[in-house]
Chain A
């Protein structure tokens, strides 16, 4: 206010002191006395024209009545603007926290250049008032900063109302207008541009055909200097395009068609399409250019992903896809997640693009993996899990071949027949040819227009996709098997030196039924090498696979084998050996129990026939295993054990106390617990003494299962098969452990229970749980009483020791003292004697 006063030539009266209320003013007694004495002195005060003075002081003296209010409003607004400016400036973290003091004594806080994001929300809040076009913009940016957005919305609304006020004030005050103009900061221009974007958006959306030119203006805005405006422009353009893009690919008219005379509608349509296409192209180019710059990367990627998601059929989708795939393994989490979700949606919504995009995406990803030599983030390949293929893809080849054979035979037959029909009219032949031609043309036209995908075409695309997918998987497998020489140290990221292995194995398991027989042998070979624990002899630390990974290899191998059972029932010897050894290496904290349970289920429970020696070896090892680990793993092992014993009758002699195996022991007379090959373990000669220990397990379920296994030979109900799989048992037990509920009784009653009869089991558990609770309580209480007594005893004993030791010391001390006393006169006598 002072500055402006200096610009005017009139010397202004000084500013009023700050107002204080009457209550705060304390009048001292001396002052009262003085005033009373000198009434004339201060008499002038009562005669002052306070009104005019205040008018002058607040500098509204010259202003007329009706403009008075406007001036006050303007001042208020100015103040608020200034405050807002400061607020905005302060919103941003000051680069230098230290302020600078000018010569005037003013403290200046240096502010950094605005980061565009806070202001972005400020502006998107303003747009919220406008049409739906901008609502999508708000949605896009809202995702990350909701709280700030609310605050900035309020501010923006205030700003908006002030804007309206400025407009109102412009007409009456010319002088005030100058001042206002000087106050226009970048923020005003900002607001203007925002509004322009909103207007353009609304215009295009409401009537795209006539307002298509405004897209060009939009693009102009995107070339602005201000980052925030550019981002806003990009995002709003995105929303506009999403709504405008038609459901078909735009094909620009050829030269010939341009020359033809067409109606106005068609011309309008052509103009619309060409403008749309050209502006779309320019937009994409801008996006591509901006994607390289790190400040715009998030926005650009988001635009590209949304466009691809919404319109994968439209022109230029290949370039979009290229960008997305390039970023699919970027180290930035947000970008990666966006790209992965886009590709997943492409895979799942095949109807939008008719399969082409899937094929292209898969091919690009395969090339990407190849280029980076399999050192990528696992998400890259995880997207493949969302692919879906027609189930009969593998079989279709056979039917095609059959058809081909049939056709060949038919053709042969026709060829034989035709020579007999040689003397035919030319006219008839030409007629036939014409008809077939026309039919062909009609079919082609129909195909091009029809929306339903051509089955053969689809199949071809799917088989190509499948081959690309498997190419990637095999490349990853090969890479894992090879010794990774120097690069292993350079790769500090992701999960070890084989980050892609886990999703690759999962994918192989999912698509195992589609693998061609030719590749099976090679695949099984590689899996065997992997299961054996990594690469060749250069197995330094960090290169060998974890237990879970090896188990996954075994599981995948079995899945692959199982899906091709119609060819031949192959016994995977080596994988059984691996599983046998891996069971020993399992550690509950480090490795995943679910994977182990799944491996047990697939390899042991679902397999049809087993070598007796091998089955017995697994039975024995599983029993040992269940002794060592927690309830969950024990339960899984015991369930598998029960399964094996029920299926292989010969193994039941393990339950008999017949050391040496008797006559059924097979060729190996003694049990070798450390044998690495289950066939050579001689387990048929051992005894399952672990079951006796397990029947006294602290967990009720395990003890019941163990005792039921022990009595398997005697029990009458030998016919039924247990219907709990190891995986389920593992899950149940681990969940129970977590919830710390009292152990439910899982006793399985006779036979005819169907799978999934959970309510029955629950009822059963309700009956017995009360009993268990009491006995459990008693047992626990006695146990803890015992523990407490033991501790008490220990403590008392230690005190006793302490006391006795101190007593002993005292005794000794006393003795010493007595000795000295006795010794001393003797000593003195001796000395005297000597001296004498």
Chain B
């Protein structure tokens, strides 16, 4: 386990920034009440093998006692680095992103299952959409009862969405909570 270096930090923050925008500081400066300390510690990012974890400082302190080979996971995994060095967010960071999301999309009940199987979001399945979405923005997908279902990248702006036909793709799928069942081994 080691902390992230410059390049890796920028990569991680860039990806998260796409989804949260200025709320990124809420993630970074989140006070954590874990541990016996009276003062609230902070959360930090640590790299173990190729995975990036979001951990509170008190937990990190204790985890330094475990050897690298034996350490499986700590805190919340938010993503992993590929061989080529790119960073991908995985579905496990959904709760972190959902609470600080800038752009949201609500799905109609009929199209929830489709999204959970890994398909993209079509316009006909859109219940609601936040204003002012630019193509390429990170979007969190919710159900109508405000349960976060996953996230993706916006394919069209909100304006264009209005004029599209109902079978056009609005959000490109990146991760969803169905992966817990479908891709158990890869997580």
Contacts and interface: CB of A to CB of B under 8 A. Distances in A.
A611 interface: yes
A570 B99 contact: no
Contact of A609 (B96, B98, B101, B128): B128
Given A517-B163, A521-B159, A680-B99, A570 B127 contact: no
Interface in A549-578: 564, 567-574
A609 B162 contact: no
B100 A573 contact: no
Contacts of B126: 568-569
B159 A520 contact: yes
A571 B99 CA distance: 17
Interface in B111-134: 126-132
A569 B125 CA distance: 12
A672 B161 CA distance: 35
B131 A609 contact: no
Given A520-B159, A609-B106, A680-B26, A569 B127 contact: yes
Contacts of B100: 680
B95 A667 contact: yes
B131 A569 contact: no
Interface in A213-245: none
B23 interface: yes
A574 B144 CA distance: 20
Given A517-B162, A520-B159, A569 B128 contact: yes
Interface string A267-295: 00000000000000000000000000000
Contacts of B80: none
Contact of A568 (B98, B101, B162): B162
Contacts of A572: 131
B104 interface: yes
Contacts of A668: 99
B158 interface: yes
Contacts of A679: 99, 101
Given A521-B159, A568-B161, A571-B104, A667 B130 contact: no
Contacts of B144: 609
Contacts of B129: 568-571
Interface in A480-523: 517, 520-521
Most chain B CB within a 10 A radius of its CB, from A521, A568, A613 = A568
A371 B120 CA distance: 51
Band of interface residues on B: 20 to 34
Interface in A648-695: 650, 666-668, 677, 679-680
Contacts of A611: 104, 146
A571 B162 contact: no
B129 to A, nearest CB: 6
Nearest to A649: B145
B162 A567 contact: yes
A612 interface: yes
B86 to A, nearest CB: 27
B131 A570 contact: yes
B105 to A, nearest CB: 9
Interface string A511-540: 000000100110011001000000000000
B106 to A, nearest CB: 7
B44 to A, nearest CB: 19
Contacts of A680: 23, 26, 99-100
Contacts of A609: 106, 127-128, 144
Nearest to B102: A573
Interface string A136-150: 000000000000000
Contacts of B95: 667
B22 to A, nearest CB: 10
Contact of A666 (B99, B104, B130, B158): B99
Most chain A CB within a 10 A radius of its CB, from B98, B127, B129, B132 = B132
Interface in B1-36: 23, 26
Nearest to A568: B162
A667 B97 CA distance: 10
Nearest to A615: B146
Contacts of B23: 677, 680
Interface string B72-113: 000000000000000000000001101111001010000000
A525 B134 CA distance: 13
Contacts of B99: 666-668, 679-680
Contacts of B163: 517, 567
Contacts of A666: 99
Given A573-B104, A574-B132, 9 more contacts: A520-B159, A524-B131, A568-B129, A568-B158, A571-B104, A574-B131, A667-B96, A680-B23, A680-B100
10 interchain residue pairs of minimum CB distance: A667-B99, A567-B162, A521-B159, A568-B162, A612-B146, A573-B130, A569-B128, A571-B130, A571-B128, A570-B131
27 contacts: A517-B162, A521-B159, A524-B131, A524-B132, A564-B162, A568-B129, A568-B162, A569-B126, A569-B127, A569-B129, A570-B128, A570-B158, A571-B104, A571-B129, A571-B130, A571-B131, A573-B104, A573-B130, A573-B131, A573-B132, A609-B106, A612-B146, A613-B146, A667-B96, A667-B99, A677-B23, A680-B99
